[in-house]
Copies of this chain bind each other. A is one copy, B any other.
Amino acid sequence: MSNFVVKPAKAAARPAQSPSTTPTSYDVAQKAGVSQSAVSRCFRPGSSISPKTRSRVIAAANELGYFPNAMASGLITKRSNLVAVLISNLTNLYYPEVLAEITRRLSDRGIRVLLFALQAESDVDAMLDQVWRYRVDGAIVAARLSPAQLLDFTRHRVPVVLYNRFGEGAPVPSVCCDSMGGERQLVERLIAAGHEVFGIISGPDDSYVSQERVRGAEHWLRESGREAVLVKGAFDYESGDAGLRALMEMTDRKLDALICANDLMAIGAIDCARTHFGIAVPQDLSVVGFDGVAPAEWASYRLSTVRQPVRRMTEAAVSMLIERINDPDLPPEVRTFAGAFIEGTSARFDARADSPA
């Protein structure tokens, strides 16, 4: 019976789809009069295919509007070409730039971004569920993860690179901006300029970056025998305002140097100083930040700060990740980048002419 079945020469072995569904490689194969695997090879770089066959396939594919199904190929190659990017608070003013850079760089390497924007630090586990389900090739994490959560990445064999974070417990690859060194540039200059009463506004307690920056600032102050009054902030504009008010009260209005754990709070503090206290910045109060976000450069602020080298850092994060996707056994390197001191005009960095006589 089956001997009588007539197959058109060089035709696809499986039935072709109706024209109303998304075309598959079989449809293309049939139309081009080649085998399905020939079609597959046309869309896979490095496969040996004759120019003649190739052009026929391409023609058929275009006519049909065919595109290889990434899920099907991912299923078999075990490479989704997807990287999960986890970011805690996108609205942080600093992250949009980071996200844009990371996305672009991954895209240049043929990898797409599966975005997870955590608002509360709560729903992390639910997101990780999804990360595992999609069999991402790797992940870049700019959010706080518990040691257990971090360990899950190893368990699931998903290479991960932390961004401005640090693996607690287990060592994890990461790129960071040198908080210590950054604060040093700021603090030493403030001291040299003769400031006397220092205040610090920290970020939220659970922020690694905040801890480091505060630790750095305190360290370099202590090196010169100074101390600072510390108040807690939350990395937002309002925190700068609230923080300054608190510090003014605590220092009996003697505060003359304010170190903020990020730019946004520094901006909030500057506005508060001018608007609420009628204090001149930097004449009566020096304010410094950290990050180098775009608004820091605006004429109203010209913030004295340390700019993170976002381009180099994102490039490092991406290439470290790719390397680990290709070779999962690479050791967990940590790359630290120095920030660039931006003089600005929100802090006085020259020794005072009218210094105490």
Contact = CB atoms under 8 A, between A and B. Distances in A.
Contact of A68 (B107, B133, B295): B133
A100 B104 contact: no
State which size class the interface on A falls in.
Answer: 35 or more
A112 B134 contact: yes
Interface in A78-136: 80, 82, 85, 89-91, 93, 95-97, 99-100, 103-104, 107, 112-117, 119, 127, 129-130, 132-135
A333 to B, nearest CB: 24
A294 B115 contact: no
A241 B271 CA distance: 21
A115 B100 CA distance: 10
B298 A267 contact: yes
Which of A103, A129, A155, A267 is packed against the most chain B CB atoms within 10 Å?
A103
A42 to B, nearest CB: 14
Number of copies: 2
A113 B112 contact: no
Contacts of A148: none
A152 to B, nearest CB: 8
Nearest to A127: B107
Interface of A: 22, 65, 67-72, 74-75, 80, 82, 85, 89-91, 93, 95-97, 99-100, 103-104, 107, 112-117, 119, 127, 129-130, 132-135, 155-157, 237, 241, 267-268, 270-272, 274-275, 294-295, 298-301
Given A68-B133, A72-B75, A93-B294, 6 more contacts: A75-B75, A96-B96, A107-B117, A113-B115, A241-B299, A268-B298
